[in-house]
A = this chain, B = another copy of it.
Amino acid sequence: MRYLTDTERGLDPKRVNDAVEAAFADHGRGLVQMPPKTYIILPAGDFRTMPAYLPSQNIAGVKIVNVHPQNPGRGLPTVMALTVILDIATGKPEAVINATPLTDMRTGAAGAIAAKYLSPKKEIVLGLIGTGRQALAQVEATRHTLAVGEVRVWSRNPVHAEKFCAGIHSLDCRSASLEHACDCDVLVTTTPSTRPIIMDAWISEGTHINAIGADAPGKEELDPAILERSSVFVDDPAQAVHSGEINVPIARGIYSEASLAGTLGEVVIGKKGRKHPDEITIFDSTGLAIQDLAIAKIALQQGTAIVLPFP
């Protein structure tokens, strides 16, 4: 068994996008095993356990990932992750991977793939709500699937938006008001908000929205009125109903699972998709264990390895 760290160094974002896209295609075809992730609530956060098996990529394992919003005050990331990979033939643990940076990348890849299939434009103005690590991962992945002409970034603190843009290379990136950031082709929301911060009036026809932030019960970023006039695609219906952008509107009885337009997997295999250039589309991302396996498959060949005695 090996412990692997720094596997993200030099990882090709395009290769990650392709691997995650292939995993979504398998998901769309019903070729994966993936029980919904389970949540354990700790005093100051939670952790999620995400097992899966992706036969076509010959990889199986479990990601374990926490969310502790007060961690930065202790000098630790909010989100930290380990992925345990098992040998398919024998079930023997093959590798334990430091998956914290990989988690950012694989979530970025899902957004990039959703935007590639669901944005009606291929040259886009990208609107970003939130400036954390996930915002950066979304930009870095999406610039490999679409031509990003301009980035409009909103943060509660404009200094954060300016600092964020300073870290983005070779893109026209600027701090913007909420309303101006929403005036875009692809809008990406990555905040931990528990009430809508994106108002219906700000969203124009033809916009594609990647709703990334809501990934636990009670989290919500979009005015539910946007959902009503949109085609909403999810990564996994069971997870989205429990913890995605749609979880609060469903719990409040103002949105229904039956209204969903489909899954990203179905979009990737061409079974579902955008029907009209003026349609508003939403990708509600909760994060799938198969994304973690797809990136782990690449990461296994990278990074620093420490050999561990087992069994």
Contact = CB atoms under 8 A, between A and B. Distances in A.
Interface of A: 3, 5, 33, 35, 38, 40-47, 49, 51-53, 60, 62, 64, 66-68, 71, 74, 76-77, 80, 82, 84, 86, 88-93, 96, 98, 100, 304, 306, 308-311
Contact of A44 (B62, B89, B93): B89
B82 A309 contact: no
24 contacts: A3-B3, A3-B96, A5-B308, A33-B40, A35-B38, A40-B53, A40-B60, A42-B60, A42-B88, A42-B89, A43-B89, A44-B90, A49-B51, A64-B84, A64-B86, A68-B90, A74-B90, A76-B90, A76-B311, A80-B92, A80-B310, A82-B93, A82-B96, A98-B310
A227 to B, nearest CB: 28
A49 B47 contact: no
Contacts of A68: 90-91
Given A84-B64, A98-B310, A100-B311, A45 B76 contact: no
Q: By CB atoms of chain B within 10 A, which of A44, A80, A90, A306 has the most?
A: A90
A30 to B, nearest CB: 14
Contacts of A77: 311
Contacts of A100: 311
B76 A93 contact: no
Contacts of A91: 42, 45-47, 66-68, 71, 80
Contacts of A46: 91
Given A47-B86, A66-B91, A80-B93, 15 more contacts: A3-B3, A3-B308, A5-B309, A42-B88, A45-B91, A47-B60, A47-B91, A64-B84, A66-B86, A76-B92, A80-B310, A80-B311, A82-B84, A82-B96, A100-B311
A81 to B, nearest CB: 8
Interface centre among A60, A96, A100 (most CB of B within 10 A): A96
A67 B92 CA distance: 10
Contacts of A51: 38, 40, 47, 49, 64
Contacts of A64: 51, 62, 84, 86, 93
Contacts of A88: 42-43
A104 to B, nearest CB: 12
